[in-house]
Amino acid sequence: MTAPRSTPLGSTRAQFEAAVRPILPRVYRYCISLTGDRDRADDLFQNAVLKAFLNASSYEGRSDLAGWLCGIARNEYLETRRTEARRHGLFDRFVDACTEALGLAPSDAKAPDRLLMQGEESELLLACLQQVPEDFRTVVVLCDIEELGYDEVAGMLGIPKGTVKSRHARGRARLREVYERVATGSLAPAREEST
Q: Is residue 193 part of a domain?
A: no
Q: What is the pLDDT of residue 195?
A: 47
Torsion (CA) 130, 133, 138, 144 in degrees, nearest 10: -70
CATH (domain of 61):
1.10.1740.10
102 and 124 share a domain? yes
113's CB contacts (< 8 A; 6+ apart) are none
Q: What is the pTM of this model?
A: 0.47
CB 145 within 8 A of CB 172: no
Q: What is the pLDDT of residue 170?
A: 95
Q: What is the pLDDT of residue 50?
A: 94
Torsion (CA) 128, 132, 134, 138 in degrees, nearest 10: -70
**Res. 90 pLDDT band, cuts 50 70 90:** low
Q: What is the pLDDT of residue 25?
A: 92
64 and 104 share a domain? no
| pLDDT tens figures, 40-65 | 999 999 999 999 999 888 888 777 88
**Res. 1 pLDDT band, cuts 50 70 90:** very low
69 and 100 share a domain? no
| pLDDT tens figures, 24-35 | 998 998 888 788
116 pLDDT higher than 70: no
18 and 39 share a domain? yes
Q: What is the domain range of residue 72?
A: 13-85
Q: What's the whole-number average pLDDT of the chain?
A: 78
Nearest to 168 by CA among 192, 147, 191: 147
Domain boundary among 56, 85, 114: 85
Q: What percent of the chain has pLDDT over 90?
A: 22
Domain boundary among 85, 114, 135: 85
